[in-house]
Amino acid sequence: MRLKQSIVDQEGDVIDESSQLTPIARMFLAALRNYGAYAVDNAGGLIFYAEDIHTADLSLSDEQVNALIGASPGAPFPGDETRWQIVIEALNQDLELIPFAYGPWTKGQDPATATITSANFEVVEPFTHSVVITHSIHLPLTLNAFPAPPSSPLLGVNDFLYQLQNLNLSAIGDSAYDLVVMDYSAQGDDESAFSTAEIATLQSSPGGDKIVLAYMSIGEAEDYRFYWDEGWDANGDGQPAPCAPAWLDVENPNWEGNYKVRYWDPGWQSIVFSYTDRLLDAGFDGAYLDIIDAYEYYADQGRSSAAQDMVDLVAAIRAYAHARDPDFYIFPQNAPELAALITAYLGSVDGIGQEDIYYGYDDDDVMTPPTVTAELEASLDIFKDAGKLVLTVDYATTQGHIDDAYSKSGAKGYVPFVTVRDLDQLTVNPGHEPD
């Protein structure tokens, strides 16, 4: 059985999940939509709930627990309950709002004799060998893996644009690119954020329908974003001030105004989720996650879990976004080797972007060393073989280099784009115009 996209309460009213349910409940429902469930208990009720395992433990901080249950940071917990029990209780309080199906029937009535007006679950037809059981309400349920999902719009992407500054949505809309990676705002702040209407117009623009992904840095903080406090580095020396949050680290010496972050910290992750909310509110089709390779910096500093921490964050972003929009795409940029290091990573992404694979690794318009190219291609092929869309971004201005990058990327089955490092112009390379 699979949970329907729109669900109702005991009165038949549609549930507004973003406002009525806690984050842990939304994550739970996202799993029921993506993966479904088997009925294993025919006790005769039309409810579902999370069962408490009294010996279970959650290795989570107070902040993480409060984030899961939708409580304010610093809110106290009952002294006689474990973190596991606190989370399970919050989840079950929400699940009580959501009936398996609703009547009408009266309290104490045998569910087998009830008339079902509507169900929140749907039975999914099998596509392989099936197992048929009969539920207590005498509905034959054929349970097995879900049918193959419909073809993803990503399969039709043949070209894309990557531009973060000087955005002209009208000009981008007139172009024939299939996919656009852009910032969520004109100036990178909330005041200049693009509206839902503007993003919808871009998605259905004169140049053809477009998948629109919003850039979001999850491995570094940027000092022009909504969350930044100037006091965190008031003297501009690149070192966090004593009042700065614990997750903030030193400034990136290569990018002024960008600061490394301890991305596993719940404080930083709550900011990432707030950022994700902005993208969902604006109607973007997905998020393009940058600075994934931040894990290398912390691994070099001795954090043994750095790679797993980054994979966990990407998975958490996907779960958080899918609780509101199950079709929201997740595209990390760079660090493709994570797919080989941690196999579960592939299940959390819909594709990947890779910079400097053919040109720009050491300097702009300079060929990337062949050994580096070969390593990147081997990692990207893991994504491609898994059916993920692979986007390549090279930084070159010489026409011969531009042509070479397009040729090599296309021959590998990737989708290429060649532009300038500042990502501040609408680039349509001669001879490589979108189809």
> What type of residue sits at position 235?
N
The answer on 195 and 75 residing in a single domain is no
The Cα–Cα gap between 101 and 7 comes to: 10
Number of H helices, E strands in the chain: 12, 19
197-230 tens-digit pLDDT: 999 999 999 999 999 999 999 999 999 999 999 9
pLDDT at 321: 94
Same domain, 284 and 304: yes
Residue 174 lies in a domain: yes
| 50 and 179, same domain (yes or no) | no
Higher pLDDT, 22 or 435: 22
Same domain, 95 and 21: yes
Give tens-digit pLDDT for 313-330. Answer: 999 999 999 989 999 999
Query: According to the model, what pLDDT value does residue 41 have?
Result: 65
Number of domains in the chain: 2
As a whole number of angstroms, the distance between CA 221 and CA 294 comes to 11
Which of 54, 79, 56, 58 is closest to 67 using CA atoms? Answer: 58
DSSP per-residue codes, 318-377? HHHHHTT-TT-EEEEBS-TTHHHH-GGGGGG-SEEEEESSSB-SSSTTSBPPHHHHHHHH
- Domain membership of residue 424 (yes or no) is no
In-domain check, residue 83: yes
One domain, residues 133 and 164: no
Indicate whether 74 and 52 sit together in one domain. yes
Is the bond preceding 416 in cis, omega lying within 30 degrees of 0? no
pLDDT exceeds cutoff 50 at 117: yes
Question: Are the C-beta atoms of 332 and 312 separated by less than 8 Å?
Answer: no
- Are 121 and 17 in the same domain? yes
Final residue in a domain of this structure, among 110, 143, 176: 143
pLDDT tens for 327-374 read 999 999 999 999 999 988 999 999 999 999 999 999 999 999 999 999
Domain that holds residue 203: 153-219+263-419
Q: Are residues 161 and 137 in the same domain?
A: no
Say if residue 113 is in the same domain as residue 204. Answer: no
| pTM, rounded to two decimals | 0.69
Provide the pLDDT for residue 231: 97
- How many Cα atoms occupy the beta-carbon half-sphere of 81 within 13 Å? 15
User: Has residue 236 been placed in a domain?
Assistant: no
Last residue of a domain, one of 88, 119, 143: 143
88: its two tokens: 């399970």
Identify whether residues 116 and 201 lie together within a single domain: no
Q: Verify that 268 and 167 share a domain, yes or no.
A: yes
Cα 246-259-373 angle, rounded to 5 deg? 125
Q: Kindly report which listed range (115-124, 200-209, 241-250, 332-341) carries the lowest average pLDDT score.
A: 115-124
Residue 143 confidence (pLDDT): 32
Instruction: Please give the Cα distance from 143 to 133 (Å, whole number).
Output: 8
Query: 375: domain CATH number?
Result: 3.20.20.70
Q: Which residue from 52, 422, 41, 71 is spatially nearest to 266, judged by alpha carbons?
A: 71
Nearest-5° Cα angle at 400, 394 to 406: 45
In a shared domain, residues 136 and 157:
no
**Residue at which a domain ends, from 84, 118, 143:** 143
Residue 246 belongs to a domain: no
Domain-located, residue 44: yes
Residue 230 lies in a domain: no
In a domain, 233, yes or no: no
